[in-house]
Amino acid sequence: MDQFEGKTAVITGAASGIGKALAERFAQEKMQVVLADIEEDALEKTVESLRQYQHRVIGVKTDVLVEESIKELYAKAIEEYGNIHILCNNAGIGANSGNKPIWEIDKDDWERLMGVNYQGVLTGIQTFLPHMVEHGEEGHVLTTVSMAGLLPGAGTYGVSKHSVMALTEALRRDLISRQTKINTSVLCPGFVDTNIDKSERNRPSYLGDARETTNEIGAEIMSAMLRQGKKPDEIAKIVLEAIKRTFFIFYLILPGMIPSGLTLTIYYQEKRYLRIQRRKWQNSFLLERMERNIRPMVDISDKLVLPCGVQIKNRICKGAMTEGLADEQNRATFKHVNLYDRWSSGGAGILLTGNVQVDHRYLERPGNVVIEGKQTNEQLSRLTSYAEAGTKNNTHLWMQISHAGRQTPASVSETPVAPSDVQLQMPGAQFGKPRPLTHEEILDIIQRFSHCASIAKDTGFTGVQYMEHMDI
């Protein structure tokens, strides 16, 4: 779905957090937006804030625990705007059971958690989907789940989110098998700066008084982690992209949240058939978006064609790592040849070299290769051997061209140069106070980079990467 203007979106839990950010984003796309939330005051404020920008929005107080309330939301949305195109099942609450084991959690706590996080989503689907399928226009159902819906554990909250994940998987298969124009996605964020840790503030009166936390320290830690998380508007931007590109599952997490070795089952659509893969994540990652529709996943063995027309044999790149293998005259040595011969035999598509400096006075560390001024035949021969070793097996070898700037160690130069005299402060490292560059020196450095790149090309390197440390 890539056309939003004039279409209608319904969002539950829209008065704050991710729901509010989604409402703002859809309104900016010139959609008609129906905001639903149980928190009436916050809902009115959100609606008013959007209307001041001439957006077409209405607010409907909605308790997703109550079927009739969701049906009333549906009726008002239809009455106001006609066809519904996007349904965001975003309303959700956190658990307040502390460290209690599953068997000690009160029934009414279970009922509220599952009622909001699972039954509310199911009722929303049952209420809106018949209409969305019947009118025959493109549409999308987005359900906010959580990383807790993919990972083991997470107590009662994890149970509720795993349930929603399974529900949406089933919905997706039904939508595909019936050849509808409706896509569905799940958003599985890690920590996001929302008020989900304060869910008890909205406990309906018919479920009794709000519960006090049984684990104050744990609650404080959770609140602190949420405040450190992604901002809702960042999430909303990614959601819009995902809807446009029909991603099924997309999520943001913090490093270390996913246990090493965790196996996830991945579904994606190819020629109207669902393919299934199982991937084992060996380490954690910051952002991962799995594409499950229209296009098959990209394999790391696939060729990559750059905008300039250059073709890389696969998607594997060895990053630049400082080497310190140059001789006392900062020339390439047989050690570079041996090292890059091994790396090019390893199968990578691109190898990035370590720092090759443009000025011998300002090194990142002793042992950097330096290219400056006219090169002797000996220097050119060494660089050619270096390039030949690194370009075996149709491997690209790109030279990282550098000027250390203020990151020049004091052992190399007590007075480095930089754009300003601000000294680099890094724990355990010693760097001198830099001297600001003159205009003439800046022009000289530019020329040095250009000269180094030219030598790299002439000696057989297939590309260059500019790297400077002056503004670190």
Count of domains for the chain: 2
**pLDDT > 90 fraction of the chain, expressed in percent and rounded:** 56
Q: Which range scores top for mean pLDDT: 199-203, 303-307, 385-389?
A: 385-389
- Domain endpoint, select from 258, 290, 322: 290
Grade residue 215 by pLDDT with cuts at 50, 70 and 90: low
Distance CA 178, CA 175 (A): 5
Asked if 250 contacts 289 with a C-beta cutoff of 8 angstroms, the reply is yes
Determine the average pLDDT of the residues in 206-213.
Answer: 56
Are 325 and 255 within one domain? no
More confident residue, 415 or 99: 415
3-state secondary structure of 292: coil
Main-chain dihedrals φ then ψ at residue 267, nearest 5 degrees: -115, 140
* Residues 363-381 pLDDT 10s: 999 999 999 999 999 999 9
Instruction: Please check whether residue 295 lies inside any domain of the structure.
Output: no
Is residue 157 part of the annotated active site? The answer reads: yes
Contact 76, 60 (CB under 8 A): yes
DSSP string for residues in 92-115: ------TT--GGGS-HHHHHHHHI
Residues 268 and 376 placed together within one structural domain of the fold: no
Q: Determine the pLDDT at residue 150.
A: 73
Chain-centroid distance of CA 197 in Å reads: 23
Choosing from 81, 118, 157, 386, which is the catalytic residue? Answer: 157
- 127 and 40 within one domain: yes
β-pair type (311-312, 304-305): antiparallel
Taking the C-alpha atoms of residue 363 and residue 350, their distance in angstroms, rounded to an integer, is 25
**Pairing mode, strands 32-37 and 57-61:** parallel
271 and 330 housed in the same domain:
no
- DSSP secondary structure letters along 235-251: HHHHHHHHHHHT-SEEE
Mean pLDDT of 230-250: 76
CA-CA distance, 434 to 170, in Å (whole number)? Answer: 62
* Domain at 333, CATH number: 3.20.20.70
pLDDT score for 268: 38
The structure's pTM equals 0.53
Nearest to 189 by CA among 266, 278, 284, 257: 257
Which tops the pLDDT comparison, 290 or 6?
A: 6
